[in-house]
Each structure stands twice: as C-alpha cells, then as structure tokens.
Amino acid sequence: MLRTLLSALLFVFAASGFAHASDLAFFNEVEGKWSGPGEIVAGKYKGTKFTCVFNGVNPAAKAGMKIDGYCRVGVFSQPMNAIIEKASGSYRGKFLDGEAGEGMDITGGRYTANKLVVNIKRKDLRGILVASKDNADHMQMTISVSVDGRLIPVIGMRLDRMGGKSDGQKIANRS
C-alpha cells in the first residue's frame, strides 16, 4: 500500500507544472529535476516521512509527461515511474505498471489555472491527486482517498526544482 501511495505521488509530479493558460504549457514546465520531502498524514503508516527525486521529460509524440525517479523511506529506496497523456479532454496514464500490476491507473482529471486534479484507481481504492504550483520552482501535492464518500488526505509533499529546466532532458537522454 505504501508503494502504491508513493506511486500516486509520482503521478502527481508527472502531471503538475507551472500555472499557464493551457495544459500543454503546463506539461512543458515540469521538465527538469525535482526533489523534496513528504509525509503520510493518515492511515497505518501515519507519520512516515520520505524524500523523492524525479526527472521530468516531455515526450515529443503526445501532450503529456514521462517521469522517472525514486522515493526513499529511511534506508529503503523504491524506483518510481509514471506516464500521463492527454486523452479526449481529460487524462489517462499509469504509475509503475498500472492497476493490472502493482501500480495505479489514472482514469481522468482536469486542469485549471495553477492546479491539476486527477482521478486515481487501484482495485477498490479511489481517490484524487491534487498538484499546485506556488511559483516556477515549488510544487505542492496532496493525495486523498475516498472513504465512505468523503475524501481523506493521506499524503502531502513539496517538491523543489533542482537546477535548470533542461536537466531532466539531459538525464533522460543518457539512459
């Protein structure tokens, strides 16, 4: 479950960016390297702190993002990856290997001003990921899950841009 929730955080990163009039510009602003702390704020793992490092790359074929990186909890590190693509006025994608494997599916969402809200799904788990930018170099993320018809915040995270926007592209081209 912890891995699934951290995967959801990765997707939030993949889908978030600087506030622009269009989601295409929004996705472009996520390129580069990002890092930051987070905490699980509810549930069995409440109080668990972690740190993630991600590289964002904008794929040339479609509007969207590809993200690769890892999250570390204590001495344990977990690879993370996600893809999100614009599809029929909404968003589709997956964390890790999607719901069919150990990850999650992205089943929809919406973008407005400086905020992206996407729907997440894994078996009976439903929820949302909210990403917002307070400026070009800082991003806030929250994952909430649906419990008895109410959305309960479970994870909070803040990422800071590391270096310039082009760092993610340079890193992606090396692999």
pLDDT digits (tens, 9 = 90+) for 40-80: 999 999 999 999 998 988 766 677 778 889 999 999 999 98
Closest alpha carbon to 94 in 129, 145, 55: 129
Look up the CATH number of the domain holding residue 151. Answer: 2.40.128.20
Which residue do the tokens 């310039």 mark?
164
Q: Taking residues 78-95, what's their average pLDDT?
A: 86
pLDDT in tens, 117-132: 889 999 999 999 888 8
Domain extent for 106 = 2-174
- Measured in whole angstroms, the distance separating CA 20 from the mean position of its chain's CA atoms is 18
3-state secondary structure 28-51: HCCCEEEEEEEEECCCCCCCCEEE
The DSSP bridge partners found for residue 113 are none
The tally of domains found in the chain comes to 1
For the beta carbon of residue 149, count every other beta carbon within 10 angstroms: 5
What pTM was computed for the model?
0.76
